[in-house]
């Protein structure tokens, strides 16, 4: 009985090792794609985080740095997402200013697409919070 269990465990382990290697290879390939390189990765991550933050805000949650960190968004990612919302003109630097979720999401998507078409995330860099040291 224990030999059979050990053989099944080893077979499962070998399958998982193979799957892990395949996923690592695919991940390396995906990271090399232009859309996921450098500024494209920052912009796409900012869009995903900003969308989540909008949903949280319209659900009645705070989207402060501290609360966002508690929900899994790091401070730097929070800054990029906030900058994207500000570029979309749905955030004033303190809170979301748009009262309609669908309109806010549309504006966010337009800002993302505009910045992506320009190929320059300067609009986001300029709006990042100044760090005090």
- Asked whether residue 64 falls in the same domain as residue 11, the answer is no
Distance CA 49, CA 51 (A): 5
- Asked whether residue 60 falls in the same domain as residue 97, the answer is yes
- Give me 93's structure tokens: 């630097």
Which range marks the domain in which residue 27 is found?
Answer: 1-32
Share of the chain above pLDDT 70, in %: 87
**Among 92, 83, 64, 74, which Cα is nearest to 125's?**
83
Q: Is residue 87 very low, low, confident or very high in pLDDT (cuts 50, 70, 90)?
A: very high
**Whole-number mean pLDDT of the chain?**
85
pTM over 0.85: no
Q: How does pLDDT run across 88-128, given as a tens digit for each residue? A: 999 998 889 999 999 999 999 999 999 988 888 887 886 65
Q: How does pLDDT run across 41-62, given as a tens digit for each residue? A: 888 899 999 999 999 999 988 8
132: in domain: no
- Asked whether residue 39 falls in the same domain as residue 102, the answer is yes
What are residue 91's phi and psi, to 5 degrees? -140, 135
Q: Is residue 32 very low, low, confident or very high in pLDDT (cuts 50, 70, 90)?
A: low
- Asked whether residue 96 falls in the same domain as residue 81, the answer is yes
**3-class state of residue 91 by DSSP:** strand
Q: What is the mean pLDDT of residues 3-19?
A: 89
131: in domain: no
């Amino acid at each position: 009985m224990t030999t059979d269990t050990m053989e099944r465990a080893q077979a499962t382990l070998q399958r998982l090792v193979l799957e892990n290697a395949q996923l690592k290879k695919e991940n390396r390939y995906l990271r090399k794609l232009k859309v996921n390189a450098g500024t494209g990765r920052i912009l796409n991550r900012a869009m995903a985080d900003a969308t989540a933050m909008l949903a949280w805000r319209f659900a009645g949650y705070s989207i402060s740095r501290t609360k966002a960190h508690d929900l899994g968004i790091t401070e730097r990612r929070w800054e990029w997402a906030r900058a994207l919302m500000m570029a979309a003109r749905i955030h004033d630097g303190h809170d979301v200013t748009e009262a309609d979720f669908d309109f806010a999401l549309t504006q966010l998507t337009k800002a993302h697409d505009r910045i992506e078409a320009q190929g320059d995330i300067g609009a986001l860099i300029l709006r990042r919070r100044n760090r005090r040291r």
